[in-house]
Structure 1
């Protein structure tokens, strides 16, 4: 029996609709609100849940990326300073300082050259485990959700849960967005639209994500709950460490480490095979550089996958940068930040791209569309990742 078509209702929004409740989408909504434009954020799951909830939160300034050009380093620094201004408004108690360690003098020279160029202070630290040198870095790690939630609480931004399924346009102007909420379809009319859904942009507007402009990659994050989890963030930009980095989290009275590296895969690859391959590579790295965490009998381990969209690069060196993507519509902007640290800068660019098409917010704040359910927050992916003994997760791969 053929199901009856879902009834379609009309919603009018006097401003800009932002598709994607991750860091970029939420920061874009904040920027639009600052400019006096009503912003409605739509996401099919939760705010700061998808890639944002899977992110480690390290605000890179370029030191740990080999062969990063001067322009990219300065852009990363601008992004870090933009985050610092956000933290000044609502300090994140979970923000932590970072350390960088390594094996070779040439790596030390390359890392410190970047920070000297940016006139950033750093201090030498006592190397731990297998490192030959260590630095207290002029970088921080944040929890995106804990930064953005209080910032949005004091704005007129509306957060609603719905899945965007299509755009209706006349000529080069988008008129409405079709969304699904539960069993209902809605046609949301607005002045302009921002696509900030990362890997979901291609499904909504294929022309905005051509293969030569946007790449998708599969990466993994290791979760370790342990009393031995470091209280600081650590990065080791060496080939021998596979670019290992870790950031701390706390929850439920426990300490956690989120660990990953620079190894990624094509999303079309077999997930189970990629996961096993990644675990077999990171296991000896953790043993070598974080032996206390690896060997502690109380440590419990888990792993989760994340698919990220980022701009393509002619060579696989340096740090991914942000990109505005072609949409074919004058009042539609789309983009991906490449790195979390660049999200505030991309948000400014996206807001600027659509502001000229949007009317000022009415004197009376626009009523949030009650027909759409509220958008919940989180949780972060590590909070819902199952944890097991090391022998279970690394069966056949542990050294």
Structure 2
């Protein structure tokens, strides 16, 4: 007697393929890390640890339940509203050994902002086998990590204890001072808050870590949000130490963000007086531009990783790549992060032609692409930045 190869029931075989349901990797743009000195703290050195409250901060980075330089800076980060999505603390193995602590932070690939707790010394660059010190170590860290693919930005501060002089701006931004931190990559944010203190009544006034507070304030907002006039919490600046209009203009004109208490804003508080990066590149001279570009880059890399090894160098395959790119950038356009975008795949235009209609040069491009298995995609994005200045003409008449 013949036997059936397959039983009749359930008549229709359905195979469930969940490969299309695998989510794209997400990277929160508001993850910060504070590296600093906390000698005697319970936390292991050069190890990033997440903190969410003051109790975490004191328990990990305090000394005998007392504050340290690192714990005070972390408390300022947590005091911001909105606060960053994640906050790391990293203790140095010895006071001032930032290079070792920053090396321990390299594996935390979700970090987008880094600062040094209370550090104001510019320091020295790496020299042979001697690691960088001070803020130079911070600048080199974000430059190196960004070049390796983990885009990060550094936040540093001009020493709040530097007294006001007639040449204050030129002095602090000289090439032998904080001017040495300026680079072309737009990875450095330099803030100025003369006289910043957590207690105006104490004598001498305890210096506040304005860099940590500003970092937390910036990271709490979405990448496309301009940092101009965003409030920074947790410390004050005595009125006698605040910047005069000429200093505000001078600092902002060179890419430094001064903290101000403008009379145009009701009440009292400190606000970011500009939104620039400390950069020599005019294309990257605003914080929100750098953050948006970093965010879009990660979204594209994460969203397109699934096409590697699957999409074929054919008309249908490259069309699917273009559709995927449009699916990544479309929500950003709908959310008004970008104003417009265009996706161009030169090879797709050639593959759309019948083979007989292609020129010898076009056919050579197809052959080369298939041999090397590389395809170029050009994405043009139109960014609509926020207004930073309004020029109003008042023309009274009778």
Asked if these proteins are the same fold (TM beyond 0.5), I'd say no
What TM bracket, shorter-length normalisation? under 0.3
TM-score, normalization: structure 1? 0.23
The structure number with the bigger radius of gyration is 2
Higher relative contact order (CA 8 A, sep 6+): 1
Pick the structure with more strand per residue. 1
TM-score w.r.t. structure 2 length?
0.23
Which structure is higher in helix share? 2
